[in-house]
Amino acid sequence: MFSKKKKEAKMAKIKRNRLRLFNNGLTVVVLIFSVYIIVLPFLPFLSLWWDQFSDSSNGYRYESQLAKDAGQNIDLALPPNENTIVVPSIQIDNKVAEGADISALAIDGVWRRPHTSTPDQGGNTVFVGHRFSYSNPATFYHLDKMEKGEKFAVWWNQQEYIYEVTEIVIVEATEISIEGPSVDPIVTLYTCTPIWTAAQRLVVRGKLINDPTGNLLPNSTIGANL
């Protein structure tokens, strides 16, 4: 009888120890997940600071007219072969994804809206990116730091199109006119705002200030069928 009780007590102790280990492990997992949820939204701030601190090119990644105009004479990478957007002030250097829906953002972080134009066709070319997402690149996290008058570039079919910011506005999420056609060759960048919500859209618009092909269509209506 005594031996049986001793054995039962031993088994009960083992079960308690296992339960304690499980609870401790679960607590650690919850703490790690909580830290991840809290800290991750602020990592883009650190990332931008580090990129600006460590990047001797100041965001001008490629040999380009944009870099020359900014006085960047250091050795730079050769121009990209893929369609790419470069915004030096906020360290954006992203390939442009093509796709039928927003899932394309999971690929490269910048998506050209279907049925809008492309830089070589003039009109209104529209690019969108997430402001913040736990599962996709937060490419346009710092879009609010862009300023009127600054310049950025879009490499399209291995040609450099340089734009100057002319307008920064906040519109309602239902405002589809920002994707409408334009007589002038422009680029529209937009993302959700305020950060961590999708209530409105932060819109940055730039006008083309160079013509690398000589084939722009100033009267383009591409983008009319939204």
* Per-residue model confidence (pLDDT) at position 51: 76
Distance CA 113, CA 210 (A): 23
* Per-residue model confidence (pLDDT) at position 223: 41
- Domain assignment present for 1: yes
- Domain assignment present for 135: yes
User: How many structural domains compose the chain?
Assistant: 2
Q: Which pTM was predicted?
A: 0.77
Distance CA 7, CA 14 (A): 11
Domain span at 16: 1-54
pLDDT digits over 93-123, tens only?
999 999 988 888 887 789 999 999 999 999 9
Below-50 pLDDT ranges, the chain:
215-226
Single out the residue of 51, 81, 52, 75 nearest to residue 63, CA to CA: 75
Q: Is 100 within 8 Å of 124 (Cβ atoms)?
A: no
- Domain assignment present for 137: yes
Do 121 and 38 share a structural domain? no
Do 196 and 152 share a structural domain? yes
Distance CA 124, CA 181 (A): 5
Do 125 and 19 share a structural domain? no
- Domain assignment present for 132: yes
Single out the residue of 140, 116, 157 nearest to residue 202, CA to CA: 140
pLDDT digits over 174-194, tens only?
999 999 999 999 999 999 999
* Per-residue model confidence (pLDDT) at position 103: 84
- Domain assignment present for 221: no
Handedness of CA 209, 212, 215, 221 (dihedral sign): negative
